[in-house]
Amino acid sequence: MKITKVEAIPLRVKQVDATANDGAQETVIVRIHTDDGTTGIGEVDASPFMVKAVLEAPSSHNWSLSIQDMLIGENPLDVERLWEKLYQGTIYTGRRGLVIHAMGAIDLALWDLAGKALGRPVFELLGGPRREAVVPYASVHAALSSLAKTERRTQEMMEKVLEMKFRAVKLQLVYADVYTDADIVRLVRLARRTLGDKIVFMIDVGYRWLDSKAAIWTLRQLEECNLYLVETPLRMDDLDGHARLAEAVTTRIAGAELLASRWEALDLMDRGKVDVIQPDVGRAGGITECMRIAKLADQRGLLCTPHGWKSGLTIAAEIHFSAACPNVPFIEFMVPELWPSIIRSKLIRPEFTPQDGLIKLPKMPLTTQFDASGSASRESRMAATSASTIPAISVRVTFSWSRIRARKIVTRGYR
pLDDT beyond 60 at 404: no
Distance (Å, rounded) from C-alpha 82 to C-alpha 73? 12
For the chain, the straight-line distance linking the first and the last C-alpha, in angstroms and rounded, comes to: 42
pLDDT beyond 70 at 82: yes
Write down the pLDDT at residue 364.
53
pLDDT beyond 50 at 372: no
| Contact yes or no for 126/324 (Cβ under 8 A) | yes
Q: How far is residue 9 from each of residues 72, 364, 387, 401, measured CA to CA in Å?
A: 18, 28, 16, 11
pLDDT digits (tens, 9 = 90+) for 136-185: 999 999 988 999 999 999 999 999 999 999 999 999 999 999 999 999 99
Chain centroid, CA 93 distance in Å: 24
Peptide bond preceding 350 in cis form (omega within 30 of 0): yes
Write down the pLDDT at residue 366.
31
Distance (Å, rounded) from C-alpha 390 to C-alpha 399? 9
pLDDT beyond 90 at 287: yes
Closest CA to 343 of 384, 380, 369: 380
Calculate ∠ Cα 371-375-376, nearest 5°.
80
Chain centroid, CA 42 distance in Å: 12
Write down the pLDDT at residue 102.
98
Chain centroid, CA 90 distance in Å: 24
Domains annotated on the chain, with CATH: 3-124+364-400 (3.30.390.10), 133-360 (3.20.20.120)
Write down the pLDDT at residue 344.
78
| Contact yes or no for 359/134 (Cβ under 8 A) | yes
Map 278-342 to HEC letters.
CCECCCCCHHHHHHHHHHHHHHCCCEECCECCCCHHHHHHHHHHHHHCCCCCCEEEECCCCCCCH
pLDDT beyond 50 at 218: yes
Write down the pLDDT at residue 401.
40
pLDDT beyond 70 at 209: yes
Distance (Å, rounded) from C-alpha 9 to C-alpha 30? 6
Q: Cβ–Cβ contacts within 10 Å for residue 302, how many? A: 20
**379: confidence class by pLDDT, cuts 50, 70, 90:** very low
Question: CB-hemisphere CA count at 13 Å for 63?
Answer: 5
Map 120-151 to HEC letters.
CCHHHHCCCCCCCEECEEEEEECCCCCHHHHH
For strand 168-172 and strand 136-141, is the pairing parallel, antiparallel, or unpaired? Answer: parallel
The C-alpha torsion from 44 through 48 and 54 to 55, rounded to 10°, is 70
Mark out the alpha helices in 4-127 (DSSP H runs): 48-56, 67-71, 79-89, 97-118, 122-125
| Contact yes or no for 78/111 (Cβ under 8 A) | no
Distance (Å, rounded) from C-alpha 400 to C-alpha 186? 43
Question: CB-hemisphere CA count at 13 Å for 274?
Answer: 33
Distance (Å, rounded) from C-alpha 352 to C-alpha 360? 10
Q: Which positions ≥6 away from 191 have C-beta within 8 Å?
A: 154, 155, 158, 171, 201
**374: confidence class by pLDDT, cuts 50, 70, 90:** very low
Strand partners, 36: none
pLDDT digits (tens, 9 = 90+) for 12-23: 888 887 777 777
Helix (H) or strand (E) holding 369: strand 369-371
pTM: 0.88
